Amino acid sequence: MFTTEQWQAGKKIIEALIQHGYEAVFVGGAVRDFVRHKVANDIDIATSALPSEVKTIFNRTVDLGLAHGTVLVIENHVPIEVTTFRTEGEYTDHRRPSDVKFVHSLEEDLKRRDFTMNALAMTADFQVVDLFDGQRDLHNGIIRTVGEPIERFKEDALRMLRAIRFTGQLGFSIDNATLEAIKLCANDLAYVSVERVSAELEKMWLSSNLDKGMTYLGQSHLAMHLPGDFPFEDARWNQLGNPQNVLVCWAFLCLLQEKPNSSELASVFKLSNELKLQITHLVQATQIRDERLFTIDDLYRFEENILVQAERLSRVLCNDIEQMPIEVIVQQKQALPIQSIRELVISGQDVMEWFNKPGGPWLKETLCRMEHAVLHQKVVNNATKLKEWIMNESNSEI
């Protein structure tokens, strides 16, 4: 891990900052992952240099919220966030500090971090700086806040959900005092933006110890403060596959509601329109599958991934369902004569010429009839055959 591009780029940035007379270290999740011998997602650096000073040292930088002290430094094509040592001022809304104060000591910076395992720092030559026994907690698999838990959760209520997510991701347990503080502060989850809550849920769903996360979600009372009626006790979360797929988890959550409504779910959790559409399709396909085997029209209507996930999801939701083997679904889908109307070899222009008529609602209807006929193999997808077929059909209607 010492040799990865990211760590080497980070090392160069730290060395450059030190050469210019500043302090600089690796911080946060990257150090936690390094100590656990895991690959880090992102590498963050903390420094005593102010953002304006960081910008004068490096050629390629991007401002990432200078008021919060973060500059993105690009070293050897690797982007790394460099943040000035800081401590937060008053938290008037439980979400974000109303002001950020830059400080000169690393200790002041680390003291305001969420958990001991995330408050580790590391020098350019990979010496760990551990002021709050983070390594001991990492070793024992304990999630514990830095200092007074209630203070940490009042600073940012999302940290409570982060604790739960980390139990799922790392398989760790939550220290008693930290868990008790979450119970006391659980109401404050209401102050956290739904987008941040959804992002944490998705990270938890992708974790390998989902059952642990779900148990803590209930135990900590946080589940009651999630939007809607969150079915944390449902044992079937663990059957969704491992690591879980977030689309399947959102659809599952939707289907567990009394009246599944994907639009409502997407708006409550402020999901993107793209995800909302996918969830809607998956919920519909699963509901269809609960009633019958997929027909040719179903296979045509839904994407392959939606069909496959719907088959899996319906098996989880209903034990005695007549199963359709996944390979059969894929094979039948791929064997359809067309996968979309765009694959018809003729265009609307051709049809207007055949009938010598300007476009209008009749044109769409005619194209749909040809699409349906090709799909159901009443006619082959060939221009002459299609013309012959549609002309015959139209004549016989007159």
Ligand X SMILES: Nc1ccn([C@@H]2O[C@H](COP(=O)(O)OP(=O)(O)OP(=O)(O)O)[C@@H](O)[C@H]2O)c(=O)n1
Q: Which residues are annotated as a binding site for ATP?
A: 29, 32, 113, 156, 159, 162, 165
Least CB distance to ligand X at residue 111 (A) = 10
Least CB distance to ligand X at residue 385 (A) = 57
**CB 242, CB 205: distance < 8 Å:** no
Q: What is the CA radius of gyration of the chain?
A: 28
**CB 238, CB 165: distance < 8 Å:** no
CA angle, residues 27, 118, 134, in degrees to nearest 5: 110
Q: Which of 28, 51, 134, 168 contacts ligand X by CB under 6 A? A: 28
Least CB distance to ligand X at residue 270 (A) = 19
Q: Identity (one letter) of the amino acid at 56?
A: T
Give the residue carrying structure tokens 């990432």: 64
Q: How far is CA 372 from the centre of its chain?
A: 37
Annotated binding-site residue numbers for CTP: 29, 32, 113, 156, 159, 162, 165
Q: Which of residues 119 and 247 has its CB atom nearest to ligand X in the complex?
A: 119
Q: Which of 2, 3, 21, 41 contacts ligand X by CB under 6 A? A: 41
Annotated binding-site residue numbers: 29, 32, 42, 44, 113, 156, 159, 162, 165
Residue 126: count other Cβ atoms within 10 Å of its Cβ.
Answer: 13
Q: Which of residues 26 and 300 has its CB atom nearest to ligand X in the complex?
A: 26
Q: Which of residues 158 and 254 has its CB atom nearest to ligand X in the complex?
A: 158
Q: Mark the segment that binds ligand X (CB under 6 A) among 93-101, 127-135, 152-160, 300-308.
A: 152-160
289 part of the interface to ligand X, by CB under 6 A: no
Give the residue carrying structure tokens 């979360």: 237
Q: Which of 11, 144, 159, 225 contacts ligand X by CB under 6 A? A: 159
Q: Which of 18, 20, 29, 321 contacts ligand X by CB under 6 A? A: 29
Q: Which of residues 193 and 263 has its CB atom nearest to ligand X in the complex?
A: 193
Residue 31: which of 164, 136, 135 has the closest Cα?
A: 135
168 part of the interface to ligand X, by CB under 6 A: no
**CB 53, CB 102: distance < 8 Å:** no
Among positive and negative, which fits the CA dihedral 170, 265, 245, 196? negative
**CB 86, CB 110: distance < 8 Å:** no
Q: Mark the segment that binds ligand X (CB under 6 A) among 1-9, 67-75, 157-165, 313-321.
A: 157-165
CA distance 42 to 60: 18
Q: Which of 17, 82, 124, 158 contacts ligand X by CB under 6 A? A: 158
Annotated binding-site residue numbers for Mg(2+): 42, 44
Give the pair of three-digit tokens for residue 177: 């005092």
Q: Which of 75, 130, 156, 311 contacts ligand X by CB under 6 A? A: 156
Least CB distance to ligand X at residue 334 (A) = 37
Q: How do strand 78-84 and strand 121-122 relate by DSSP bridges?
A: unpaired
Least CB distance to ligand X at residue 114 (A) = 4
Q: Which of residues 155 and 298 has its CB atom nearest to ligand X in the complex?
A: 155
CA distance 389 to 309: 37
Residues 59-118 that bind ligand X (CB under 6 A): 113-114, 118
Least CB distance to ligand X at residue 262 (A) = 27
Give the residue carrying structure tokens 């359809």: 336
202 part of the interface to ligand X, by CB under 6 A: no
Residues facing 88 on adjacent strands: 100
Least CB distance to ligand X at residue 81 (A) = 9
DSSP string, 44-108: EEEESS-HHHHHHH-SSEEES-GGGTEEEEEETTEEEEEEE-EEE---SSSSS-S-EEE-S-HHH
Give the pair of three-digit tokens for residue 90: 């008053």
Least CB distance to ligand X at residue 27 (A) = 7
The three-state secondary structure class of 309 is helix
How many angstroms separate the Cα of 245 from the Cα of each of 12, 71, 216, 375?
Answer: 37, 33, 21, 31
Q: Which of residues 51 and 168 has its CB atom nearest to ligand X in the complex?
A: 168
144 part of the interface to ligand X, by CB under 6 A: no
Residue 87: which of 99, 70, 71 has the closest Cα?
A: 99
Binding site residues, ligand X, CB under 6 A? 28-29, 41, 44, 113-114, 118-119, 156, 158-159, 162
